[in-house]
């Protein structure tokens, strides 16, 4: 089916939803189609616990926030971008408040600002420990109230249609009917999030398989810094918990990491101890586990805060852990690091603009230079808000020059229905295990080379399957996942140093000259 719209937004996290709200405000008469491959709330945003970094007290200022971001980014942040985004934080927070978000306040009626790793001041605005759920739900309600925005759930992007470095829209699979639609738009915006599902252990929901990054790469866009995949240090260790995230804010409120014998260990690794940047804490836990042979470490808040405080500040975590027989008011929480956030992505400006005309990328799928080699805690939702606003403003200012053009419909060719779905599940599991073991928190040249060799075999098999069988969502995700995994490995191999979230034991030192890594599809 051919579908025409003015703006096509792919993704329903904070970036995609905020873009829809802002774009509708700037261009109320233009048609906006927002598609998402599962239900609209299924995004990393929904599961974000910590909050949004924003200067909000008299002891703090933007220069401190900027400096903390640059330090965490380990020499690879674009300072101009950092300054632009942080300078807008207060305005974008006001936008959320006007939409109905009520950030948690203390007994004095002031914002209850959280403290997280890498921050020199308390500046994390939050809604208890369920900030993402509150933000996502509020944005969804606002988007659904807009007359010029249409939402399509269970619609999955297959490929962008790009010719002569100009994007005309996308081919999209409607999962329920198995029909592939031809959606033409004046501008296409990817807000598809990261790629955490390339790893065995991740805090990301199942939908996060690198779709936007892979689609843009196939279309000819430049990808940068994919080797910088941030691992969150503390995720609930339990076979059925699916790596449930334990917010960094808990350590900000006094929780301490300990080995299973009860010994504190972070003082051995960094002066900030348990509030060191995420890459350092993750490597410290990894080192302790390799040394001890244990499967997890403990995060202990029960010894440092009373039960009322814990239940009030972390109600979501308290309830979730109880489901797995862990009472965090009485016992420490078993935790392990898990893949959390992609600091790299499609090279894009603060307005999402890419080198492909009429293709914009915002949020975690983009690499704007804001995060550098390691994202500062709670800067991700902030980036999503600001870049969505800047993207909407750019599109509104250039709307008169944007033209929609039809393109060829999807061709099934000789493809037949799948008869060997086991190929998909087998490759999916093997790739994620490979990435976890060979391209994880600590890497080496040998493991990376072995990983690339194996990925070439997987890619060949997946490519054959893609061209000979009808596509479905599982095959689309596997194809994207394998492509992003290979991109990450190639970027990691190209970096002969250790910086930020990328640590290679063969190159433990940091080079004097900081540089970004770039990769583009060979034609």
| Residues annotated catalytic, as ranges | 278
Residue among 483, 404, 431 nearest 221 (CA): 483
Beta-strand runs (E) in 24-74: 32-36, 52-53
Dist. CA 170–CA 203, nearest whole Å: 29
β-sheet bridge partners, residue 59: none
Distances (CA, A) of 221 to 224, 346, 355, 417: 10, 7, 7, 31
Instruction: List b or e across 38-57, with b for residues whose CB sees 16 or more CB atoms inside 10 angstroms.
Output: bebbbbbbbbbbbbbbbbbe
- Reduced DSSP (H G I as helix, E B as strand, rest coil) percent helix, strand, coil of the chain, to 5: 40, 20, 40
Residue among 163, 223, 164 nearest 190 (CA): 223
Instruction: Give alpha helix (H) positions in 324-472.
Output: 380-397, 422-438, 445-468
Whole-angstrom distance between the N-terminal and C-terminal Cα of the chain? 30
β-sheet bridge partners, residue 367: 347
Asked whether the beta carbons of 104 and 111 are under 8 A apart, the reply is yes
């Amino acid at each position: 089916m051919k579908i025409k719209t003015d703006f096509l937004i792919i993704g329903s996290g904070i970036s995609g939803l905020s873009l829809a709200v802002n774009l509708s405000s700037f261009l109320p008469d233009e048609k906006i189609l927002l598609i998402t491959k599962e239900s609209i709330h299924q995004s990393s945003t929904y599961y974000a616990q910590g909050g949004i970094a924003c200067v909000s007290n008299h002891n703090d200022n933007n220069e401190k926030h900027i400096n903390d971001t640059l330090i965490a980014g380990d020499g690879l942040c674009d300072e101009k971008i950092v300054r632009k985004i942080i300078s807008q934080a207060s305005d974008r927070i006001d936008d959320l408040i006007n939409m109905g978000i009520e950030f948690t306040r203390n007994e004095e009626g002031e914002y209850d600002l959280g403290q997280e790793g890498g921050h020199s001041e308390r500046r994390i605005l939050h809604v208890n420990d369920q900030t993402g759920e509150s933000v996502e739900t509020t944005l969804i309600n606002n988007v659904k109230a807009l007359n010029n925005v249409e939402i399509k759930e269970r619609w999955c992007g297959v490929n962008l249609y790009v010719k002569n470095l100009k994007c005309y829209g996308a081919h999209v699979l409607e999962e329920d009917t198995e029909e592939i639609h031809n959606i033409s738009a004046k501008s296409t915006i990817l807000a598809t999030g990261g790629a955490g599902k390339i790893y065995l252990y991740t805090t990301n929901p199942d939908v996060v398989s690198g779709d936007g990054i892979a689609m843009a790469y196939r279309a000819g866009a430049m990808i940068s810094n994919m080797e910088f995949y941030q691992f969150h240090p503390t995720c609930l260790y339990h076979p059925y918990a699916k790596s449930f995230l334990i917010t960094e804010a808990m350590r900000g409120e006094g929780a301490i990491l300990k080995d299973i014998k009860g010994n504190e260990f972070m003082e051995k690794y960094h002066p900030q101890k348990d509030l060191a940047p995420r890459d350092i804490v993750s490597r410290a836990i990894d080192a302790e586990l390799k040394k001890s042979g244990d499967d997890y470490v403990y995060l202990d808040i029960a010894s440092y805060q009373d039960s009322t405080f814990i239940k009030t500040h972390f109600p979501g975590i308290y309830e979730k852990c109880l489901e797995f027989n862990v009472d965090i008011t009485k016992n420490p929480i078993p935790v392990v690091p898990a893949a959390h956030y992609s600091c790299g992505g499609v090279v894009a400006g603060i307005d999402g603009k890419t080198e492909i005309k009429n293709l914009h990328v915002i949020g975690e799928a983009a690499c704007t230079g804001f995060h550098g080699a390691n994202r500062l805690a709670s800067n991700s939702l902030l980036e999503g808000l600001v870049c969505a606003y800047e993207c909407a403003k750019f599109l509104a200012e250039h709307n008169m020059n944007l033209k929609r053009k039809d393109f060829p419909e999807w061709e099934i060719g000789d493809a037949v229905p799948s008869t060997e779905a086991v190929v998909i599940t087998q490759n999916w599991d093997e790739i994620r295990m490979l990435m976890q073991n060979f391209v994880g928190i600590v890497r080496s040249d040998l493991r990376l080379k072995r990983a690339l060799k194996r990925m070439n075999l997987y890619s060949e098999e997946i490519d054959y399957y893609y061209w000979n069988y009808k596509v479905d969502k599982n095959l689309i995700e596997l194809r994207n996942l394998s492509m992003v995994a290979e991109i990450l490995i190639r970027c990691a191999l190209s970096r002969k140093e250790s910086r930020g979230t990328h640590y290679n034991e063969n190159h433990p030192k940091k080079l004097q000259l900081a540089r970004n890594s770039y990769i583009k599809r060979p034609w």
